[in-house]
Amino acid sequence: MNPCSLENHTALVTGSSKGIGLAAGIALREAGAATLFHGREKTPRHIPEGAPYLTADLAAPGGPETLAEKAFAEAPDLDLLVCNAGSFFDVPFLEMSEERWDQTLDLNVKAAYFLAKAFAARLVNENRPGAVVIVSSTNGFQAEEDSTAYDTSKGALVMLTRTLAHSLARYNIRVNGVAPGLIRTPLTGGWMEAHPEKREHYEKKILLGRIGTPEDCGGAITFLCSNAAAYITGQVLVVDGGLTVGQIGRM
């Protein structure tokens, strides 16, 4: 039996109308999982034909619980959760407002925390095993200029991965994370095109010599959801092409 197969599993991927979340959802489907996609858009363009798509604002009060209810109503056998939804709202630190701080933490951290809680509570009540993957970032380990709230939120997700793994191990629910480096997504693509000199700098700093793709993250997420990772919990897999390995990179 293929240990990476996800046949007879069902997954929910948040923020999966584009970017890393979309790639993760497609990768999970290709591995055999029935996959629920999620976003705020009413009519996403890139969701695979026929795939269930759920709308919910995870930053709104009760949003995570609402999404969990919709997901279990659509797929009562749901046993895999990928907490990917998040965004970047930063301005320079001395210009940061409480509103922007709350916007960042509510979406990037609070939503993942309470969605994971609702998901795990259902599985524990039904005495079923499961797996959670939390998408953080290399910004959770290394700070970036004018990224104070985002960096803080991603660091929080690294610890959230570890503490939820500790809390849920007794219920046979594994919790792991991925920390993408620089990935070309709708969020970063415009920045790369506007600043080719910075893109070139990163391409030299990244040991594998290229900017990452969402599909690079999709494979890592699929692995962590599968039986191939059955003895792995509380770990954060860095997916950065070697960006954070060396001080200088390739000369």
Which residues are designated catalytic?
150
User: Contact, 214 vs 239, CB < 8 A?
Assistant: no
Show the tokens assigned to 14: 């948040």
Which stretch of DSSP H or E encloses residue 83? strand 80-83
CB neighbour burial string for 77-91, b if at least 16 within 10 angstroms, e if fewer: ebbbbbbbbbeebbe
User: Contact, 224 vs 237, CB < 8 A?
Assistant: yes
Which stretch of DSSP H or E encloses residue 77? none
* Residue 217 CB coordination number (10 Å): 26
DSSP assignment of 127-194 equals T--EEEEEE--GGGTS--TT-HHHHHHHHHHHHHHHHHHHHHGGGTEEEEEEEE-SB--HHHHHHHHH
Which stretch of DSSP H or E encloses residue 212? none
* Residue 169 CB coordination number (10 Å): 13
